Amino acid sequence: MTKIVYHIIQHDGGWAFKLGDTISETFRSHDAAYAAAKRVALEQMRAGETAGISWEDARGRWHDEISSGDDRPDVEVEDD
Protein backbone atom coordinates (compact mmCIF):
# COMPACT_ATOMS: atom_id res chain seq x y z
CA MET A 1 0.00 0.00 0.00
CA THR A 2 1.23 3.47 -0.84
CA LYS A 3 1.76 5.87 2.04
CA ILE A 4 1.60 9.65 1.70
CA VAL A 5 2.29 12.22 4.40
CA TYR A 6 1.04 15.80 4.52
CA HIS A 7 3.28 18.14 6.52
CA ILE A 8 2.08 21.29 8.30
CA ILE A 9 4.47 24.17 7.54
CA GLN A 10 4.77 27.92 7.99
CA HIS A 11 4.12 29.58 4.64
CA ASP A 12 3.62 33.09 3.28
CA GLY A 13 2.89 34.70 6.65
CA GLY A 14 0.61 31.89 7.82
CA TRP A 15 0.35 28.12 7.76
CA ALA A 16 -0.15 25.53 5.01
CA PHE A 17 0.13 21.83 4.37
CA LYS A 18 2.62 20.31 1.96
CA LEU A 19 2.86 17.07 0.01
CA GLY A 20 6.13 16.66 -1.83
CA ASP A 21 6.79 20.00 -3.54
CA THR A 22 3.12 21.00 -3.58
CA ILE A 23 1.95 23.53 -1.00
CA SER A 24 -1.68 24.27 -0.17
CA GLU A 25 -3.24 27.68 0.13
CA THR A 26 -2.17 29.70 3.16
CA PHE A 27 -4.30 29.55 6.30
CA ARG A 28 -4.33 32.15 9.09
CA SER A 29 -3.65 29.66 11.85
CA HIS A 30 -1.83 26.42 12.42
CA ASP A 31 -5.07 24.79 13.58
CA ALA A 32 -6.88 25.78 10.37
CA ALA A 33 -4.09 24.33 8.20
CA TYR A 34 -4.06 21.14 10.28
CA ALA A 35 -7.85 20.75 10.02
CA ALA A 36 -7.73 21.28 6.25
CA ALA A 37 -4.96 18.69 5.89
CA LYS A 38 -6.99 16.19 7.92
CA ARG A 39 -10.03 16.78 5.63
CA VAL A 40 -7.88 16.24 2.54
CA ALA A 41 -6.37 13.09 4.06
CA LEU A 42 -9.82 11.65 4.75
CA GLU A 43 -10.91 12.39 1.18
CA GLN A 44 -7.72 10.79 -0.16
CA MET A 45 -8.52 7.54 1.70
CA ARG A 46 -12.16 7.39 0.59
CA ALA A 47 -12.84 4.70 -2.00
CA GLY A 48 -14.14 5.82 -5.34
CA GLU A 49 -14.91 4.38 -8.75
CA THR A 50 -12.50 2.45 -10.92
CA ALA A 51 -11.35 4.84 -13.64
CA GLY A 52 -8.79 5.26 -16.38
CA ILE A 53 -6.04 7.76 -15.62
CA SER A 54 -3.24 9.33 -17.64
CA TRP A 55 -0.06 10.71 -16.15
CA GLU A 56 3.23 12.16 -17.35
CA ASP A 57 6.51 10.89 -15.96
CA ALA A 58 9.69 12.90 -15.30
CA ARG A 59 10.91 12.19 -18.85
CA GLY A 60 7.78 13.66 -20.41
CA ARG A 61 6.25 10.32 -21.41
CA TRP A 62 2.54 9.75 -20.90
CA HIS A 63 1.15 6.58 -19.35
CA ASP A 64 -2.40 5.24 -19.29
CA GLU A 65 -3.54 3.05 -16.41
CA ILE A 66 -6.64 1.75 -14.73
CA SER A 67 -6.97 2.99 -11.15
CA SER A 68 -9.03 0.73 -8.93
CA GLY A 69 -11.47 2.73 -6.82
CA ASP A 70 -10.54 0.74 -3.72
CA ASP A 71 -6.76 1.11 -4.15
CA ARG A 72 -6.34 3.97 -1.67
CA PRO A 73 -3.15 5.10 0.05
CA ASP A 74 -2.40 5.16 3.74
CA VAL A 75 -2.40 8.88 4.63
CA GLU A 76 -0.93 10.75 7.59
CA VAL A 77 -0.71 14.38 8.66
CA GLU A 78 2.53 15.30 10.43
CA ASP A 79 3.03 18.45 12.40
CA ASP A 80 6.69 19.30 11.79
Chain centroid to CA 16: how far? 12
Rounded Cα distance, 73 and 67, in Å: 12
Report which residue type is found at 64. D
The more confident residue out of 68 and 65 is 65
What pTM was computed for the model?
0.73
Domain ranges of the chain: 3-79
- Predicted confidence (pLDDT) at residue 23 exceeds the cutoff of 80: yes
Give pLDDT, residue 45: 85
